[in-house]
């Protein structure tokens, strides 16, 4: 008898991206959003094969894009056997239902994709609870989409069909689970608060920044630890705290979840407790990927998110990381002869607009000692003010 062999390898899902260019956005800006969305898809394990965009005054209420564009997408999806279509903005439950009915493939929006990545990255009980809460809050208004096979059965007095009762049952179960998860998060928050109280004697420093800028690499460099670092979005989801000693000054360094543009509001709400380390820090280290073509937008996004978290008026050191990968041409800087040296960086508009600032390469260990000295001086200043009679520094 001839032996049969089966391929058990997980097939990489083929993905199509869809974006709408409104009068508020430029084509270049939407292109950049879609490139970031492609990176999110890659992080989730998918393969982006094509991108569709359409200029509209505002997204169509029923199908997000126009019917002509939706037909074009459908033709491509069928011809190329596409598995998933991802939209760059959050879809309403009715939009998702209509698009899914038309395209007959899995439909995701940016929020759903980010939640999927968060779910795969969560390690601790707190992160898992926060992700599950966000997923249920996202699912709740979209429940009807899961029960369309019962949609012909009408409800009403004396005619309550199984479709209606099943949706109501599911809704009640989800609301109960959301309530339970919120209570669990409150308990975890109280436990974390107790832990933080026990650490109050030490100065606390928090790494903040856009996702994938090198925060975990800097954390590993300073703390000599092994926090998971990877060239993917949201490699770190759980807050990590390590004790660091520079010369004779000990302090606590925390690595937090990265920020991203168009981050759904309910996700920010769910992760507020994780970001308590940021709120209670004495010093913020704002890490910026200087090699990214639009790092200024990323700085703005981080500052706006910090403002939403009511984290203002804290001493902040801006660390421009990845100077080894910096390309002046990406930023319209005309270099005729020699490449930029450290002196050029220190006298640039980047340093002046974000002072105090320092330029480093965490992977190449370039200018790292100067960064440690700057951080040491900042921690020492606060330590001396808080504990004027502490002989630790003398």
- Binding-site members for GTP are 209-216, 234-238, 255-258, 321-324, 361-363
Alpha-carbon distance 248 to 380, whole Å? 9
Annotated binding residues for Mg(2+), as ranges? 216, 236
Q: Length of the chain, please? A: 394
- Cβ neighbours of 250 (radius 10 Å): 14
CB 295 within 8 A of CB 359: no
- Phi and psi for 291 in degrees, rounded to 5? -80, -15
CB 181 within 8 A of CB 257: no
CA torsion through residues 47, 52, 56, 59, sign? negative
Annotated binding residues, as ranges? 209-216, 234-238, 255-258, 321-324, 361-363
Alpha-carbon distance 120 to 164, whole Å? 33
Nearest residue to 361 (alpha-carbon basis) of 331, 385, 325 = 325
Alpha-carbon distance 52 to 246, whole Å? 51
Tokens of 82: 């596409």
Cα angle 264-171-166, degrees, rounded to a multiple of 5: 135
> Is the bond preceding 356 in cis, omega lying within 30 degrees of 0?
yes
Instruction: Please list the helix, strand and coil fractions of the chain in percent, rounded to the nearest 5, in that order.
Output: 50, 20, 35
- Phi and psi for 93 in degrees, rounded to 5? -55, -40
CA torsion through residues 357, 359, 362, 367, sign? negative
Angle formed by the axes of helices 67-80 and 93-103, nearest 10°: 50
Alpha-carbon distance 323 to 346, whole Å? 12
- Pairing assessment for the beta strands 203-209 and 283-289 based on DSSP bridges: parallel
Cα→Cα distances 366→81, 227, 330, 371, Å: 47, 20, 21, 10
Cα→Cα distances 170→77, 100, 141, 144, 149, Å: 32, 21, 11, 10, 15
């Amino acid at each position: 008898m001839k032996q049969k062999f089966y391929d058990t390898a997980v097939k990489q899902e083929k993905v199509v991206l869809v974006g709408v260019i409104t009068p508020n956005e430029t084509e270049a800006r939407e292109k950049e959003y879609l490139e970031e969305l492609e990176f999110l898809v890659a992080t989730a394990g998918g393969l982006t094969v094509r991108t569709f965009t359409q200029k509209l005054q505002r997204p169509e209420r029923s199908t997000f894009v126009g019917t002509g564009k939706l037909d074009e997408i459908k033709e491509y999806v069928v011809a190329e056997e596409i598995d998933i279509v991802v939209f760059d903005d959050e879809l309403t439950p009715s939009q998702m239902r209509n698009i899914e009915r038309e395209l007959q493939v899995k439909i995701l929006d940016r929020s759903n994709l980010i939640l999927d990545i968060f779910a795969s990255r969560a390690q601790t009980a707190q992160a898992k609870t926060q992700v599950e809460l966000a997923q249920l809050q996202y699912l709740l208004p979209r429940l009807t989409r899961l029960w369309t096979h019962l949609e012909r059965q009408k409800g009403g007095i004396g005619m309550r069909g199984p479709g209606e009762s099943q949706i109501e049952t599911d809704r009640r179960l989800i609301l109960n689970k959301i309530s339970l998860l919120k209570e669990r998060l409150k308990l975890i928050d109280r436990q974390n608060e107790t832990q933080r109280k026990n650490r109050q004697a030490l100065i606390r420093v928090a790494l903040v920044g856009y996702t994938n800028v090198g925060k975990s690499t800097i954390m590993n460099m300073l703390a000599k630890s092994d926090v998971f670092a990877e060239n993917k979005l949201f490699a770190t989801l759980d807050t990590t705290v390590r004790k660091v000693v520079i010369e004779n000054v000990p302090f606590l360094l925390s690595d937090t979840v990265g920020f991203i543009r168009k981050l759904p509001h309910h996700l920010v709400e769910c992760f507020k407790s994780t970001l308590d380390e940021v709120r209670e820090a004495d010093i913020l280290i704002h890490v910026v990927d200087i090699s990214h073509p639009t790092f200024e937008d990323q700085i703005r996004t981080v500052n706006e998110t910090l403002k939403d978290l009511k984290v203002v008026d804290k001493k902040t050191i801006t660390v421009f990381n990845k100077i080894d990968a910096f390309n002046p041409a990406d930023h319209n800087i005309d270099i005729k002869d020699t490449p930029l040296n450290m002196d050029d960086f220190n006298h640039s508009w980047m340093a002046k607009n974000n002072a105090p600032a320092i330029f480093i390469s965490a992977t190449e260990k370039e200018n790292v000692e100067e960064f440690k000295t700057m951080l040491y001086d900042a921690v020492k200043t606060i330590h001396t003010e808080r504990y004027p009679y502490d002989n630790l520094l003398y």
